[in-house]
Structure 1
């Protein structure tokens, strides 16, 4: 077996394999690389010794059985026998479901999560979007402080556990997307700086020195990230990657890393004969992120649309703090703008940022499925002081309206786990740092952050307290009782409708037509022969929908949260309070 490592600044490198140390040789064909041939079997422990220093885990380790600071373990990628036949599944027509392995079940493992995949197949979602699974210190955490970017968190079930999860999902017709973090690594267990210039002081980020994408040595750093990304898709048969905070990737090279990644993934998809997707989280409101490379864009396949979320959240809750301030004056107007133009900030002034923000979308040339729409995500719940979901404060009717806008809107819809039944369990920020000083720093930093917004320190959940993670686990008895069961049935109905009504997966943003009344708190839009209306007010609303395409008014009710009559011949729809309806033209 060939062992290899990039360590350009080392004078000597040794391979410690099953307790025995042997010298490695410089690779004459690759600057900075060291290699050694040795007999090894699946599970054998190994690490590298640089200049007679301590044993360090392999930067490209596929398994860290004892955590990020322990030795690596050999993984035989060919040993797993795949069972499901799988041809892949692309994003057009998709419904995403964001899932955190550690809290989807009390057990917090791939095996326990896989046992609940039947729920998702029955719900009708098409893609499970896993939050990060790279190793991090301790047992429980969000995953965004992961290290060892080629490995799988051992407490979740390690590499084989992930393969069995993906296999089970594919067997049920579910694609799997994995959240990967390229913009920073965790503060604990990160040994990459010992090996080479993986980070650079040329740029600074909220996490310190930037990942080195454009300074000296960045060719190998890019290759490290590309190899990790392609490995997830190839070796674990994943269907896509969600790229965390791509706006934080500092990169001044003529060929941006994201464009290089996009081309590499498209090439791999052609080789494998199945679709692969890259979904960006971006704060830039820049349509070039998902514009094809042939048209001068980066070529990613979709991007999260926070503008739609912020507008919808503000319309539902009335909140106006932080970035919601940009949407608070006329939230339904903002919702209407996003469902027709994708971004609210398309070169408009942002009071939150104190400057103009965003770039217009060419709606005539941008497919709507390239934008992901949602009412809740791990970020938008977990970064609240108490991790409270919409269900903590909104009525079932308003939750149903949110579902209607997400699942009948033009974007690729995404749900956050438990949203489909209005879960009352919070999803809070939790960590399991093994370094006491780091644990205290995280705990106190969170308290200071929310103290600035008027929260008492004692009110903020302690991230290190196991009870914080425990509170964040889904309660699987909820879907069996009201009001959760009714909301769950509503989500199933809307997803089923989306699957059979072609107008709901129409990628043409330019064809969406909207009407709304800010003061009366209703909004309606047309998608082909379908009309959707939501009433967020606490009293009934009369909504002038106008005539159908046949100009005779009326219409047929396809789905309604509360009993509602079809529109009158003059096009007037009488919609109950906090309710919504999907109509088809006669």
Structure 2
């Protein structure tokens, strides 16, 4: 595998600069004085320049005209349009004995750095780690941190994949992100990073000026598709594979969650995604620790989990939304949009039996057949939830389940998620019964773009009749209202839900350890709105689907 490094790297008293610009005749690095880069094969340009140290700001100049940030910048201290900064990679890690968390033991806690704490920084997350450890969390999943425009964004509008968001740092975002990962490992908590390889954000995306990173034969819901199978796609792949390598090797992440892989369009014999999972697994072997690749996919397609040797994509786990949709539609009685396919207690029963609902049958919402069955042995590889950033924030007003149903139904949702046999994920604040919204927010500097986003949100919800004014994504108030109310940790409600989640997480771990959901003789039924599961001589489970909430598990 090609390991040619791109970007700026400190090497002794020198800094090596390398960039891919196959259509350029001349490339210079501005420090601020200009230094000419030498052409290499495959369209690369490079230079080794003495006397440059970490902290140096720089830009590249193409063909003596346009000045641009480094497409592989490790830090953008002044934002997406500003200069790049040379970063010295060494960090005083203390996790040399860390081996990671086995896949079957993952209990994932999804968080957004900017709203998780009042400070909205990597370092501030550390203050919650002891509490999350006590709760039973074994991994945190951080929503995308690659540099995006402004200070407020979910992270899916990133345009500098290698550069941690500047506003998430107090002084040095790359250093402070490593510090957070290191501290998580001290607490025995793995760290999974959400990465976006299906599109780039609309502001500050300079990749098209460098080369054919995009192609027009495919489209995604967010714009142009990245070029993973067209002309020059080898070097586009190399760019993103180096990003996979950076997060795992340099930042010690324990896994990556790849956003919406169904929007990564690639007809090549060896798909980019298979190449990425192979790389991650090779690194895991080299580093002698667990590294997990998790896919977000709405296809209910077991080939995502199939090994690359067998022609699959080689992911270790994948998001499976059917359980969420069943829980939400049955507890809230919403039946619009995609929820129309999931109404009825029998749908919950079906997911508890098989891990997913759609396994090839017709979907009224999609107007076609959908999905294929998964093997029972892969049940623990399906990431399930009662709430996550998408299912909350992609509502018109970003309401959490805690503001839509009463406490008894909220408890039932937690039990159905955590005791389902899948890989459980909970969203920040869920463990205190959080009712604050998690709305969609952005901080674009382009006024026309802000208007387009605002109008686009209104059109997006045409299939729903949700009431109320849609919060302005560009308003700082929308961002601030999306922060969990951590003062509720000490309230009666907060303590009640924390105790409930702690108990359910412990039970979840025991059920997964016993592998009861993988057994072909497992009996599951619903009697008088009580879901019952039983495996002879092993365990019994009951969860009420109507108020009052009860959940009981016994072992034989």
Q: Give 1:131's match in structure 2, choosing from 119, 143, 152.
A: 143
Equivalent-residue separation in structure 1 for 2:45 and 2:183 (angstroms): 38
Relative distance call for 1:512 and 1:125 in structure 2 (3 A) is: farther
SS at the partner of 1:274? coil
Instruction: Tell me how far 1:301 sits from its aligned partner.
Output: 0.3
Equivalent-residue separation in structure 1 for 2:465 and 2:511 (angstroms): 47
Q: Deviations over 1:184-243 (max 9, x none)?
A: 010001110000000001211222221000110100001111110111011000000000
Instruction: Tell me how far 1:501 sits from its aligned partner.
Output: 5.4
**2:390 matched to which residue of 1?**
379
Report if the CA contact (8 A) 1:308-1:343 is conserved: yes
Q: Deviations over 1:376-402 (max 9, x none)?
A: 000000011111111112222222222
Relative distance call for 1:455 and 1:498 in structure 2 (3 A) is: closer
SS at the partner of 1:116? helix
SS at the partner of 1:115? helix
Q: Give 1:350's match in structure 2, choosing from 342, 363, 369.
A: 363
Report if the CA contact (8 A) 1:246-1:282 is conserved: yes
Equivalent-residue separation in structure 1 for 2:177 and 2:348 (angstroms): 38
Relative distance call for 1:499 and 1:209 in structure 2 (3 A) is: closer
The alignment status of 1:491 with 2:491, answered yes or no, reads no
Instruction: Tell me how far 1:132 sits from its aligned partner.
Output: 0.2
Relative distance call for 1:200 and 1:171 in structure 2 (3 A) is: same
Q: Give 1:579's match in structure 2, choosing from 550, 553, 556.
A: 550
Report if the CA contact (8 A) 2:306-2:312 is conserved: yes
**1:560 matched to which residue of 2?**
none
Q: Give 2:238's match in structure 1, choosing from 215, 223, 241.
A: 223
Q: Give 2:59's match in structure 1, choosing from 43, 47, 66.
A: 47
TM-score, structure 2 length as denominator?
A: 0.93
Equivalent-residue separation in structure 1 for 2:207 and 2:441 (angstroms): 25
Instruction: Tell me how far 1:306 sits from its aligned partner.
Output: 0.6
Instruction: Tell me how far 1:308 sits from its aligned partner.
Output: 1.4
**1:331-350 aligned within 5 A:** 332-350=345-363
Report if the CA contact (8 A) 2:95-2:182 is conserved: yes
Q: Deviations over 1:290-312 (max 9, x none)?
A: 12223332110000011111112
Q: Give 1:10's match in structure 2, choosing from 19, 24, 27.
A: 24
Equivalent-residue separation in structure 1 for 2:289 and 2:141 (angstroms): 18
SS at the partner of 1:510? coil
Name the stretch that deviates more: 232-241 or 291-300: 291-300
**2:533 matched to which residue of 1?**
525
SS at the partner of 1:303? strand
Q: Give 1:277's match in structure 2, choosing from 292, 304, 308.
A: 292
| Runs of 4+ in structure 1 over 6 Å off | none
Equivalent-residue separation in structure 2 for 1:271 and 1:397 (angstroms): 48
Q: Give 2:492's match in structure 1, choosing from 467, 477, 482.
A: 482
> Which stretches in structure 2 are left out of the alignment for 5+ residues?
1-14
Q: Deviations over 1:121-166 (max 9, x none)?
A: 1111100000000000100110000011111001001111110110
Report if the CA contact (8 A) 1:367-1:507 is conserved: no
The alignment status of 1:99 with 2:111, answered yes or no, reads yes
Equivalent-residue separation in structure 1 for 2:438 and 2:214 (angstroms): 32
**1:49-198 aligned within 5 A:** 49-78=61-90, 80-85=91-96, 86-157=98-169, 158-198=173-213
Report if the CA contact (8 A) 1:212-1:218 is conserved: yes
Instruction: Tell me how far 1:286 sits from its aligned partner.
Output: 0.2
Equivalent-residue separation in structure 2 for 1:269 and 1:534 (angstroms): 39
Instruction: Tell me how far 1:451 sits from its aligned partner.
Output: 6.1
Equivalent-residue separation in structure 2 for 1:54 and 1:308 (angstroms): 50
Equivalent-residue separation in structure 2 for 1:440 and 1:101 (angstroms): 25
Equivalent-residue separation in structure 1 for 2:202 and 2:361 (angstroms): 36
Q: Deviations over 1:59-95 (max 9, x none)?
A: 11111111111111111111x2112342222321210
TM-score, structure 1 length as denominator?
A: 0.89
**1:459 matched to which residue of 2?**
469
Equivalent-residue separation in structure 2 for 1:302 and 1:124 (angstroms): 20
Equivalent-residue separation in structure 1 for 2:242 and 2:350 (angstroms): 39
Name the stretch that deviates more: 528-537 or 136-145: 528-537
Instruction: Tell me how far 1:245 sits from its aligned partner.
Output: 0.1
Aligned-CA RMSD value: 1.6
Instruction: Tell me how far 1:314 sits from its aligned partner.
Output: 1.6
Q: Deviations over 1:386-440 (max 9, x none)?
A: 1111111222222222221222221111100111111111111111111111111
Equivalent-residue separation in structure 1 for 2:277 and 2:33 (angstroms): 41
Relative distance call for 1:470 and 1:228 in structure 2 (3 A) is: same
Q: Deviations over 1:437-462 (max 9, x none)?
A: 11111112223434664457x71111
**1:305 matched to which residue of 2?**
320
Equivalent-residue separation in structure 2 for 1:175 and 1:506 (angstroms): 25
* Number of equivalenced pairs: 536
SS at the partner of 2:360? strand
Report if the CA contact (8 A) 2:336-2:463 is conserved: no
Equivalent-residue separation in structure 1 for 2:112 and 2:118 (angstroms): 11
Instruction: Tell me how far 1:579 sits from its aligned partner.
Output: 2.3
**2:3 matched to which residue of 1?**
none
**1:558 matched to which residue of 2?**
none
Equivalent-residue separation in structure 1 for 2:301 and 2:529 (angstroms): 30
Report if the CA contact (8 A) 1:340-1:509 is conserved: no
Report if the CA contact (8 A) 2:380-2:512 is conserved: no
Report if the CA contact (8 A) 1:421-1:484 is conserved: yes
